[in-house]
Amino acid sequence: MRPPAEAGAEYDLRHHGDAEVGDGLVDLAVNVRAGTPPSWLADRIAASLAGLAAYPDGTAARRTVAARHGRPASEVLLTAGAAEAFVLLARVLRPRHAVVVHPQFTEPEAALRAAGHAVDRVLLDAADGFRLDPADVPDDADLVVLGNPTNPTSVLHPAALVRRLARPGRTLVVDEAFMDAVPGERESLAGGTPGEDVPGLVVLRSLTKTWGLAGLRVGYLLAGAGLVTALQDAQPLWAVSTPALAAAEACMAPEALAEAAEAARTVTADRAYLVERLRGVPGVRVAGDTPAGPFLLLHLEDGAEARLRLRESGYAVRRADTFPGLGPDWLRVAVRDRRTTDGFANALAMATVALPDLPALPPLPGRADGPGPSSGPAGAPDLPGSPGDPASPGSAHGPDSPGFPGRSAATAPGGSGQGR
Ligand SMILES: Cc1ncc(COP(=O)(O)O)c(C=O)c1O
C-alpha cells in the first residue's frame, strides 16, 4: 500500500466511460459486453411491456435471484442497478470510519460523500500489482468497500483474502458487478460460505454489463435480512420497473447462466489475445499479474496524449486519471473481439510512437492554417488493420479519415479531456 491518500488530491469521481464514446468511435471505454442484449432477452423485456399499467411486483424476481445464489429471499434486494445500492447504503449506514479501497469504481465514494460521510482511501499499489493486503485497512474502519474483480485494475482478489476484511461491527461491501465475467465466478462471495458466516457482508451484483442493460437499470444486493429490510425501507417505492424485473428473472434461468458462463470463457480468451497484442506495443504495460475482468488497465508514458491520438484514429478508451491512485499515464480498455483488438493494437502502436520536436514550419502560401494533417511520424509502424485500412474497425470514419493524427489533438471529440 502507498501512504494514505494524497490529502486533498481531487478526482472527478463522477466521470464515467460513457462520456468518452460517440462520434462513431469504436467503444473501448465502456465495459458493457458488445452485441448485447441478446434478442431472447430483448424479447422477454418487450413482452413485459404488456403489464406496464400495473405497479411493479418484485416478488417472483426476488425469489428467483435468491434461488440462484442459494439464499433466502429475505437476503435479496433488487435495485435499479448496482449504482442504486451504493446510494441506499450511503443513506442508511452511519459509518464512523468509512474506507474505500482504491483504485476502484468511484460511485461508492461519491455516494458516501453525497450522503455527508467522510471517506478514507486505502490506495493499492501498482508496483504490487494492486494486490489487496487486509492489513492495509485500518482496524477501526466500520465500513469497507472493495470491488472484485476491481474496475479499473481488473484484479480479482482471492475470496479468502476478502473474507479476512470482515469482522463484527464492520459492514464489508464487495462490489461484484463484473463477477459474472469471471469463469466459474471463482472468488465470489455471493453464495456465502457454507458453514461459515461472514459478518457484515454485503455483495452487490449488476445485470447491466454482461447483459447489455445499462439503460434499463437492474441489479441486486445480497446481505443479512436486517440490513436488507432497512435498505428496502429507504428505497423509493417501485424503484425497479416491471421490464427490469422481467430481465432479472430471465437472467437467472439456467440457459441464461450457461450463456453468461460461455461469455466469460470468450472474454477470457479475448483478453489473453489482447494482452498478447499489447505485449508487442513498446512502452505499454498491463496492470496486475493476472487480469480477470472484461477490461484491462494500461500504463504508458504520455497516456493522456495517446488517448487523444487514439480518438483521432477512431478509438475511444477510458481515461483512468479520474480513479483515485491513478494518473494521466493510465488508460482502461474494454476486452473486445480479436478483429477489434487487432485494429486497436495497431492504432495504439501508432499513437505511442514518439514524435520528434520539429521546428515550426512557415504557413504555406495561400493557407492561413499552416500545413495539413500529418501523414504520420517517421518510424510509425505500417501495419495491416491500421487506422487508414478500411477493413479495420478502427477506420470508423471510412477511407477518407485523416491518417495518423498530428501532435495537436485539441479538436478531437471529447478532446478537451473534461469529464462530464
Ligand atoms: C465496478 C462497477 N460497479 C458498479 C457499477 C454500476 O453498475 P450498474 O449499471 O448496475 O449500476 C459499475 C458501472 O460501471 C461498475 O463499473
- DSSP assignment of 171-231 equals EEEEE-TTGGGSGGGTT--TT-BTTB--TTEEEEEESSTTTT-TTT--EEEE--HHHHHHH
- Residue 42, pLDDT > 90, answer yes
Which residue, chain included where needed, has cell 472484461? 294
Using one digit for the tens of pLDDT, what is the confidence trace for 311-332? Answer: 999 999 999 999 999 999 999 9
- Residue 419, pLDDT > 50, answer no
Identify residue 39 by its one-letter amino acid code. S
Domain ranges within the chain, ordered by starting residue: 39-256
Exposure class string for 237-258: b at 16+ Cβ within 10 A, else e: eebbbbbbbbbbbbbbeeebee
Task: Give the C-alpha separation, 340 to 335, whole Å.
Answer: 9
Residues 168-183 have a mean pLDDT of 98
Residues 42-61 have a mean pLDDT of 98
Percent of the chain with pLDDT strictly greater than 70: 81
Q: Among the atoms of ligand 1, which is closest to the Cα of residue 84?
A: 11
- Residue 195, pLDDT > 80, answer no
Task: Give the C-alpha separation, 11 to 256, whole Å.
Answer: 38
Q: Among the atoms of ligand 1, which is closest to the Cα of residue 147?
A: 1
Q: Could you tell me if 45 and 247 are in contact, meaning their C-beta atoms sit under 8 angstroms apart?
A: yes
pLDDT reported for residue 355: 54
Residues 180-192 have a mean pLDDT of 95
Regarding the beta carbon of 352 and ligand 1, being less than 6 Å apart is answered: no
Q: Among the atoms of ligand 1, which is closest to the Cα of residue 178?
A: 1
- Residue 384, pLDDT > 50, answer no
Q: Which whole-number Å values give the CA distances from 416 to 33, 307, 311, 314, 409, in the listed order?
A: 27, 11, 12, 16, 9
Instruction: Say which residues have a Cβ less than 8 Å from residue 360's Cβ, sequence separation at least 6.
Output: none
Residues 177-189 have a mean pLDDT of 98
Residues 351-359 have a mean pLDDT of 70
- Residue 370, pLDDT > 50, answer no
Using one digit for the tens of pLDDT, what is the confidence trace for 227-279? Answer: 999 999 999 999 999 999 999 999 999 999 999 999 999 999 999 999 999 99
Regarding the beta carbon of 29 and ligand 1, being less than 6 Å apart is answered: no
pLDDT reported for residue 359: 61
Q: Among the atoms of ligand 1, which is closest to the Cα of residue 151?
A: 1
Regarding the beta carbon of 81 and ligand 1, being less than 6 Å apart is answered: yes
Half-sphere exposure of 189 (CA within 13 A, CB side): 32
State the pLDDT confidence band at 400, using cuts at 50, 70 and 90.
Answer: very low
State the pLDDT confidence band at 8, using cuts at 50, 70 and 90.
Answer: very low
Using one digit for the tens of pLDDT, what is the confidence trace for 79-116? Answer: 999 999 999 999 999 999 999 999 999 999 999 999 99
Residues 11-38 have a mean pLDDT of 92
CATH class of the domain whose range is 39-256: alpha beta
- State the pTM of this model: 0.85
Identify residue 283 by its one-letter amino acid code. G
Site to substitute for ligand 1 among 84, 87, 105, most atoms within 8 A of C-beta:
105
> What's the burial of 164, exposed, middle or buried (CB within 10 Å: 0-12/13-18/19+)?
middle
Using one digit for the tens of pLDDT, what is the confidence trace for 111-164? Answer: 999 999 999 999 999 999 999 999 999 999 999 999 999 999 999 999 999 999
Residue ranges in 280-384 assigned as alpha helix (H): 303-312, 338-351
DSSP annotation of 354 = P
pLDDT reported for residue 161: 97
Q: Could you tell me if 406 and 353 are in contact, meaning their C-beta atoms sit under 8 angstroms apart?
A: no
Regarding the beta carbon of 179 and ligand 1, being less than 6 Å apart is answered: no
pLDDT reported for residue 193: 60
Regarding the beta carbon of 341 and ligand 1, being less than 6 Å apart is answered: no
Residues 169-180 have a mean pLDDT of 98
Read off the C-alpha cell for 14: 463522477
State the pLDDT confidence band at 53, using cuts at 50, 70 and 90.
Answer: very high
Tell me which of 14-23, 45-54, 248-257, 274-283 is least confident.
14-23
pLDDT reported for residue 380: 43
